[in-house]
């Protein structure tokens, strides 16, 4: 199997266009046309993980964090990033990063955290804007169903748990075919009136190319009439952080012990206890301080994240319990998530979890 096939699967699950602007997800070293000899899933692609890939004869590392993030000006091995990149390139190891695009989908990093905590009724904490578009196309009556089905199959018409959503109105279209055309109906040089269906279908922006080509391939007109508009609606399944509920409310001290054990954290840094039960839980794997105000606004009892600075703990304002469980600790199950996704899709292929504990933070 080619590396390209694995990447193409991952990018259907977590489209690269969902990554944040500052990010550098994607194929970082190696060549997608290589034959894949095995996959290692990791949170970080550091030198030890590259060595592991060499030893285990896996030439593809799928990592959450991009090893090259802010750009490289020299590659002479002076720091861990350069050393890793040199080793990967010299040994023909491909490194693919699936970062904020995996953070931003409902079944991604935070979805896995929520599953580990047993949270229910999950929604995205900060849904991303500008992710939805609407397509209008005008189709002769006889071909309307074929075009609708093609757009649905390409991923259009999904609204939460509903699929095949569309709105259809019939009306009369006009056109006058010019010289050299081959019109679906009517006569060249004369205005033609055609009974048409106007089909309206919502779709995620990242599927635009696929949807337009499916529409064009199924549409009988030589010149397909269609409009695309950007919607201000936010996509309920795409965005940062997540919020969910515990089955039963928990005492806050018991809850802190619970997350300490679930995430195998040596230390949980938290704000002042508020003497109230925990039911509504907001989460964000990795550095999530940008979501504190959002967690407050939605009335979460607790916000679990990592990488908080001293002053950010004050932002709890005695209205929410904030718990910093550590960056690695919060995201470690992403390794399982990637391994499970890939092993499910390619059951006969070697998909391993790294045996290297890449957490650079230790406690004494």
Written as six digits, the tokens of 252 are 């806050």
Of 103 and 301, CB closest to Zn ion? 103
The least distance separating Zn ion from the CB of residue 108, rounded to whole angstroms, comes to 12
Residues 6+ apart with CB under 8 A from 154: 207, 210, 211, 213, 214, 215
Could you identify the residue written with the tokens 């802010």? 70
Longest distance between any two alpha carbons in the chain, whole Å: 85
Could you identify the residue written with the tokens 């695009």? 101
The least distance separating Zn ion from the CB of residue 259, rounded to whole angstroms, comes to 17
The least distance separating Zn ion from the CB of residue 24, rounded to whole angstroms, comes to 13
Of 156 and 286, CB closest to Zn ion? 286
Phi, psi at 6, each rounded to 5°? -70, -45
Of 108 and 157, CB closest to Zn ion? 108
Report the Cα 203 to chain-centroid distance in Å. Answer: 16
The least distance separating Zn ion from the CB of residue 185, rounded to whole angstroms, comes to 57
3-state secondary structure of 205: helix
- Name the nearest CA neighbour of 123 among 278, 295, 293: 295
Phi, psi at 50, each rounded to 5°? -65, -45
The least distance separating Zn ion from the CB of residue 311, rounded to whole angstroms, comes to 21
The least distance separating Zn ion from the CB of residue 113, rounded to whole angstroms, comes to 12
- Chain residues that interact with Zn ion, rule: CB under 5 A: 286, 331
The least distance separating Zn ion from the CB of residue 44, rounded to whole angstroms, comes to 9
Distances (CA, A) of 362 to 69, 328, 357, 358: 23, 11, 11, 11
The least distance separating Zn ion from the CB of residue 352, rounded to whole angstroms, comes to 21
Of 132 and 265, CB closest to Zn ion? 265
The least distance separating Zn ion from the CB of residue 289, rounded to whole angstroms, comes to 13
Residues 6+ apart with CB under 8 A from 31: 3, 94
Of 111 and 286, CB closest to Zn ion? 286
The least distance separating Zn ion from the CB of residue 284, rounded to whole angstroms, comes to 10
Pairing mode of beta strands 239-250, 278-287: antiparallel
Q: Are 111 and 104 in contact (CB under 8 A)?
A: no
Cβ-closest residue to Zn ion? Answer: 286
Of 66 and 286, CB closest to Zn ion? 286
Q: Are 4 and 25 in contact (CB under 8 A)?
A: no
Residues 6+ apart with CB under 8 A from 71: none
* DSSP assignment letter at 35: B
Of 241 and 286, CB closest to Zn ion? 286
Could you identify the residue written with the tokens 């470690």? 332
Burial of 73 (0-12, 13-18, 19+ CB in 10 A): exposed
Of 194 and 331, CB closest to Zn ion? 331
Of 107 and 173, CB closest to Zn ion? 107
Of 108 and 286, CB closest to Zn ion? 286
Written as six digits, the tokens of 295 are 């967690």
Distances (CA, A) of 164 to 46, 49, 149, 199, 208: 44, 44, 8, 12, 16
């Amino acid at each position: 199997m080619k590396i390209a096939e694995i990447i193409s699967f991952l990018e259907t699950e977590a489209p690269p266009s969902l990554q944040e602007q500052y990010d550098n997800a994607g194929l970082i070293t190696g060549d997608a046309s290589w034959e894949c000899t095995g996959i290692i899933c990791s949170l970080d692609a550091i030198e030890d993980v590259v060595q592991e890939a060499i030893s285990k004869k896996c030439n593809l590392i799928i990592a959450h964090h991009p090893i090259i993030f802010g750009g490289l000006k020299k590659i002479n091995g002076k720091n861990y990033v350069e050393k890793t990149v040199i080793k990967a390139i010299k040994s023909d190891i491909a490194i693919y990063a699936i970062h904020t695009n995996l953070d931003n989908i409902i079944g991604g990093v935070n979805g896995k955290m929520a599953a580990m905590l047993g949270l229910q009724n999950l929604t995205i904490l900060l849904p991303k804007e500008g992710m939805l578009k609407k397509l209008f196309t005008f189709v002769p009556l006889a071909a309307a169903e074929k075009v609708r089905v093609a757009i649905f199959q390409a991923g259009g018409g999904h609204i939460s748990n509903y699929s095949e959503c569309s709105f259809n109105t019939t009306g009369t279209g006009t056109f006058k075919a010019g010289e050299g055309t081959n019109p679906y109906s009517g006569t060249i040089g004369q205005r033609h009136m055609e009974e048409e269906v106007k089909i309206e279908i919502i779709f995620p922006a990242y599927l635009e190319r696929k949807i337009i080509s499916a529409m064009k391939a199924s549409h009988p007109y030589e010149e397909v009439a269609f409009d695309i508009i950007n919607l201000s609606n936010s996509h309920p399944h795409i965005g940062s952080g997540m919020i969910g509920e515990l089955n039963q409310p928990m005492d806050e001290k018991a809850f802190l012990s619970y997350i300490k054990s679930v995430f195998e954290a040596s230390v949980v840094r938290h704000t002042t206890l508020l003497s109230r039960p925990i039911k509504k839980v907001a989460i964000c794997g990795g550095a999530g301080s940008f979501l504190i105000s959002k967690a407050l606004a939605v009335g979460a009892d607790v916000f679990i994240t990592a990488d908080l600075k001293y002053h950010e703990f004050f932002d709890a304002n005695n209205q929410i319990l904030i718990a910093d469980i550590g960056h690695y600790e919060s995201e470690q199950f992403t390794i399982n998530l990637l391994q499970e996704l890939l092993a499910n899709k390619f059951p006969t292929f070697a998909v391993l979890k790294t045996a290297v504990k890449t957490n650079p933070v230790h406690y004494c």
